[in-house]
């Protein structure tokens, strides 16, 4: 039996405590993950705990229940909502229906009525999960996947085997609509090691693809098909600025699949292109982005442009796949895998019947690839620099074992330089974000979305990196900085609290006082009085 989580929201704590005490939530199949006394705090807790059900009052300070419901329905459409209030007004009931609220009940809340409501809600939640997990439903999704001709066309397209003069005929014959104007390839990778017990992996993969079509397909006009054990989507966007929003949508999708189906998926996002045939390059970049789950973690979206802006779309310097594989392992920064990739490359170029001229060509391709890799990634590695002709001549003289050692050393050096470069890049945009907060903290419009748009990154990637670098979420950092400035103004000036509230970015003085007290444990006026008294005592001594 599945157990579901519930968040309670009411500005009257005695009401919440009564609900917690009088209902045997465990017996009903629920657990209370917490409670909030206003809508703003509730949204913070929802983002953190992702409850299955939110039970909220309507009339509350700072953000009322209807506005909270609107946020939930827009950002967490699968979340269930129960409204309870002392206001028996028809308009509220109509709005509740519009927001697809599960139940609308009046205070005082009756325990018998609540038990009945949550018993029905438990049955409904069980049915929804059962539908997603049932073998019959998964088999249905699998057999109803995209038609064979469409899937074959899409597979051939990303393999680079569609010619320009054939493209329009294929699109017309197979009734595939890709108007663009811009395109981006997504690769959805499902972990083979984290599959729910007694679950058929083929049926589960088909269900993941179906959920991707439902949750990402309509918004991004995406064409979805299976390929080499993954699901691949051709997303269509209007401009390059939408790529950050697409990344955040994919990130939410990963968390949704993990919650509802119990499996781990990672979405790799390739570079944006303006030509349909260029989706082959975008696909290769998306596959590479998925490989970075070893660095950034799984069950999330990884945008190749954000993690390796200078590495995406790198031209193919040689037809040797082993060399491309070596560059991939260098980026992933695994010493053991780099050594193994070097061995595979050396073996691939050491075939018995190779002529001297063929050996020269291979060494020339290797030197060119290494130079371009170092330039494209701003690497000034020892051993690759100066005259390319001198290096080429030196490598021609090396025996296979010596060449193997040299290539291993330079590859490990490249890897270390990339780690340093990524760290500098990460610290740079975190520093820019902090500087923006310091200069714009008085702006009431200052938000996570604003700073991400300014920096040109997705919310999910920025939030992950910012918290890793600072130990705080961006919202918490902004709040703490504003409170520090407010505390300073309270001590250094005689201005009223509502004036100070406006100066640090709060339009509602009551909410400012609420946040200030939560930070310092006392109201603004008491904080000022205590510090003035303390300074006076020091002066008298």
Tell me the pLDDT tens digit for each residue of 122-178. Answer: 999 888 887 776 666 656 664 565 478 888 889 999 999 999 999 999 898 888 899
Structure tokens at 297: 């973690």
Answer yes or no: do 394 and 329 share one domain.
yes
Q: Is residue 160 part of a domain?
A: no
Angle at 276 between CA 272 and CA 278, to 5 degrees: 60
pLDDT band at residue 97 using 50, 70 and 90 as cut-offs: low
Structure tokens at 7: 């968040």
Instruction: Reply yes or no on whether the pLDDT at 503 is more than 50.
Output: yes
Provide the pLDDT for residue 319: 43
Answer yes or no: do 287 and 354 share one domain.
no
- Number of C-beta neighbours around residue 270 at 10 A: 30
Answer yes or no: do 198 and 258 share one domain.
yes
What's the number of domains the chain is made of? 4
Distance from C-alpha of 291 to C-alpha of 79, rounded to nearest angstrom:
31
Answer yes or no: do 351 and 261 share one domain.
no
Percent of all residues in the chain with a pLDDT value above 70, rounded to a whole number: 84
Instruction: Reply yes or no on whether the pLDDT at 540 is more than 70.
Output: no
Instruction: Reply yes or no on whether the pLDDT at 351 is more than 90.
Output: no
Instruction: Reply yes or no on whether the pLDDT at 196 is more than 90.
Output: no
Distance from C-alpha of 108 to C-alpha of 296, rounded to nearest angstrom:
48
Distance from C-alpha of 221 to C-alpha of 213, rounded to nearest angstrom:
9
Answer yes or no: do 325 and 290 share one domain.
no
- In terms of pLDDT, which residue wins out, 32 or 356? 32
Q: Is the pTM of this model over 0.85?
A: no
Name beta bridge partners: 269.
186, 303
Instruction: Reply yes or no on whether the pLDDT at 511 is more than 60.
Output: yes
Contacts of 165 (CB under 8 A, 6+ apart): none
Q: Is residue 500 part of a domain?
A: yes
Q: Is residue 313 part of a domain?
A: no
CATH number at residue 224: 3.30.70.270
Q: Is residue 434 part of a domain?
A: no
Answer yes or no: do 412 and 490 share one domain.
no
Provide the pLDDT for residue 537: 55
Q: Is residue 39 part of a domain?
A: yes
Instruction: Reply yes or no on whether the pLDDT at 326 is more than 70.
Output: yes
Question: Where do runs of H (alpha helix) occur along 99-184?
Answer: 111-133, 135-143, 148-158, 164-173
207, 138 contact by CB (below 8 A): yes
Max Cα–Cα distance, the chain, nearest Å: 95
Provide the pLDDT for residue 252: 94
pLDDT band at residue 391 using 50, 70 and 90 as cut-offs: confident
Note the pLDDT tens digit of each residue in 268-297. 999 999 999 999 999 999 998 888 775 577
- Number of C-beta neighbours around residue 504 at 10 A: 22
DSSP string, 35-84: EESSHHHHHHHHHHH--SEEEE-S--SSS-HHHHHHHHHHH-TT-EEEEE
Instruction: Reply yes or no on whether the pLDDT at 527 is more than 80.
Output: yes
83, 36 contact by CB (below 8 A): no
Mean pLDDT of 35-50: 91
Distance from C-alpha of 413 to C-alpha of 392, rounded to nearest angstrom:
19
Instruction: Reply yes or no on whether the pLDDT at 64 is more than 60.
Output: yes
Q: Is residue 164 part of a domain?
A: no
371, 388 contact by CB (below 8 A): yes
- Number of C-beta neighbours around residue 201 at 10 A: 13
Provide the pLDDT for residue 373: 81
- In terms of pLDDT, which residue wins out, 204 or 426? 204
**230-237 sheet: strands from edge to edge:** 223-227, 230-237, 182-190, 265-269, 301-303
pLDDT band at residue 476 using 50, 70 and 90 as cut-offs: very high
Mean pLDDT of 451-456: 86
Answer yes or no: do 325 and 294 share one domain.
no
Mean pLDDT of 109-115: 86
The CB-side HSE value for 274 (13 A sphere, CA atoms) comes to 2
Structural domain boundaries, residue 348: 318-417
The winner for highest mean pLDDT among 8-17, 312-321, 354-363 is 8-17
Instruction: Reply yes or no on whether the pLDDT at 242 is more than 90.
Output: yes
Answer yes or no: do 230 and 338 share one domain.
no
DSSP assigned state of 273: B
Instruction: Reply yes or no on whether the pLDDT at 16 is more than 70.
Output: yes
Answer yes or no: do 260 and 323 share one domain.
no
Mean pLDDT of 38-59: 91
Percent of all residues in the chain with a pLDDT value above 90, rounded to a whole number: 40
Give the least confident one: 31-40, 190-199, 491-500.
190-199
Task: Describe the chain by its helix, strand, coil percentages, rounded to 5.
Answer: 60, 10, 30
Answer yes or no: do 275 and 337 share one domain.
no
Mean pLDDT of 318-323: 64
Instruction: Reply yes or no on whether the pLDDT at 106 is more than 90.
Output: no
CATH number at residue 484: 1.10.10.60
Contacts of 180 (CB under 8 A, 6+ apart): 236, 274, 276
Mean pLDDT of 49-77: 89
Answer yes or no: do 52 and 112 share one domain.
yes
Structure tokens at 336: 């053991």
Provide the pLDDT for residue 501: 94
Residue where a domain stops, chosen among 128, 155, 190: 128
Mean pLDDT of 509-527: 93
Question: Where do runs of H (alpha helix) occur along 381-508?
Answer: 388-396, 400-440, 448-455, 459-470, 474-492, 497-503
Mean pLDDT of the residues in the chain: 84
Residue where a domain stops, chosen among 89, 104, 128: 128
Answer yes or no: do 184 and 279 share one domain.
yes
Instruction: Reply yes or no on whether the pLDDT at 536 is more than 70.
Output: no
Instruction: For tokens 């930070």, name the residue.
Output: 519
Q: Is residue 227 part of a domain?
A: yes
- Number of C-beta neighbours around residue 78 at 10 A: 13
Which region, left, alpha or beta, applies to residue 103 given φ > 0 means left and ψ of -120 to 50 means alpha? beta
Distance from C-alpha of 270 to C-alpha of 281, rounded to nearest angstrom:
8
Mean pLDDT of 431-444: 91
Distance from C-alpha of 82 to C-alpha of 94, rounded to nearest angstrom:
14
Mean pLDDT of 307-311: 53
Secondary structure of residue 190 in the 3-state scheme: strand
Provide the pLDDT for residue 384: 64
Residue where a domain stops, chosen among 93, 128, 163: 128
pLDDT band at residue 119 using 50, 70 and 90 as cut-offs: very high
Q: Is residue 149 part of a domain?
A: no
């Amino acid at each position: 039996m599945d157990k579901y989580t519930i968040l309670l929201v009411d500005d009257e704590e005695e009401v919440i405590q009564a609900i917690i005490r009088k209902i045997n939530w465990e017996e009903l199949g629920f657990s209370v993950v917490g409670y909030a006394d206003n809508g703003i705090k509730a949204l913070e807790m929802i983002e953190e705990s992702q409850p299955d059900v939110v039970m909220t009052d309507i009339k509350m300070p700072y953000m009322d229940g209807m506005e909270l419901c609107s946020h939930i329905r827009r950002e967490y459409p699968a979340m269930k909502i129960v409204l309870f209030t002392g206001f028996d007004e028809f308009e509220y009931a109509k709005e509740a229906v519009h927001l697809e609220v599960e139940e609308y009940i009046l205070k005082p809340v009756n325990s018998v009525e609540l038990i009945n409501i949550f018993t029905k809600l438990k049955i409904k939640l069980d049915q929804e999960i059962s539908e997603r997990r049932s073998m019959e439903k998964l088999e249905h999704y699998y057999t109803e996947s995209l038609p064979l001709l469409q899937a074959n066309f899409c597979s051939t397209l990303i393999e680079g085997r569609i010619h320009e003069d054939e493209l329009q005929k294929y699109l017309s014959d197979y009734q595939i609509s890709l108007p663009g104007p811009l395109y981006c390839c997504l690769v959805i990778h499902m972990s083979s090691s984290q599959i729910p017990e007694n679950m058929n992996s083929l049926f589960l993969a088909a269900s993941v693809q179906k959920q991707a079509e439902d949750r990402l397909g309509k918004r991004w006009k995406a064409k979805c098909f299976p390929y080499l054990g993954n699901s691949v989507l051709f997303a269509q966007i209007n401009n390059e600025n939408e790529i950050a929003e697409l990344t955040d949508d994919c990130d939410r999708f990963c968390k949704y699949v993990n919650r509802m189906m119990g499996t781990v998926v990672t979405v790799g996002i390739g570079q944006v292109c303006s030509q349909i045939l260029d989706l082959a390059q975008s696909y290769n970049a998306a596959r590479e982005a998925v490989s970075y789950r070893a660095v950034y973690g799984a069950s999330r979206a990884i945008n190749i442009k954000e993690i390796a802006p200078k590495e995406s779309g790198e031209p193919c310097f040689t037809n040797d796949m082993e060399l491309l594989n070596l560059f991939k392992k260098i980026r992933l920064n695994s010493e053991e895998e780099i050594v193994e990739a070097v061995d595979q490359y050396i073996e691939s170029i050491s075939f018995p019947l190779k002529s001297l001229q063929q050996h020269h060509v291979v060494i020339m391709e290797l030197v060119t690839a290494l130079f371009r890799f170092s330039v494209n990634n701003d690497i000034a590695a020892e051993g690759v620099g100066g005259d390319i002709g001198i290096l080429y001549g030196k490598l021609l003289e090396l025996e296979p074992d010596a060449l193997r050692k040299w290539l291993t050393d330079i590859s490990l050096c490249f890897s270390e330089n990339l780690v340093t470069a990524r760290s500098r890049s990460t610290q740079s945009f975190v520093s820019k974000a902090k500087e923006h907060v310091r200069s714009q903290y008085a702006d009431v419009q200052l938000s996570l979305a604003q700073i991400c748009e300014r920096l040109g990154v997705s919310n999910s990637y920025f939030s992950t990196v910012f918290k890793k670098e600072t130990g705080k979420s961006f919202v918490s950092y902004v709040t703490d900085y504003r409170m520090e400035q407010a505390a300073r103004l309270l001590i250094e000036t005689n201005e009223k609290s509502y004036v100070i509230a406006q100066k640090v970015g709060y339009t509602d003085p009551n909410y400012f006082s609420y946040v200030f007290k939560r930070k310092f444990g006392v109201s603004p006026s008491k904080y000022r009085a205590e510090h003035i008294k303390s300074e006076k005592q020091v002066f008298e001594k």
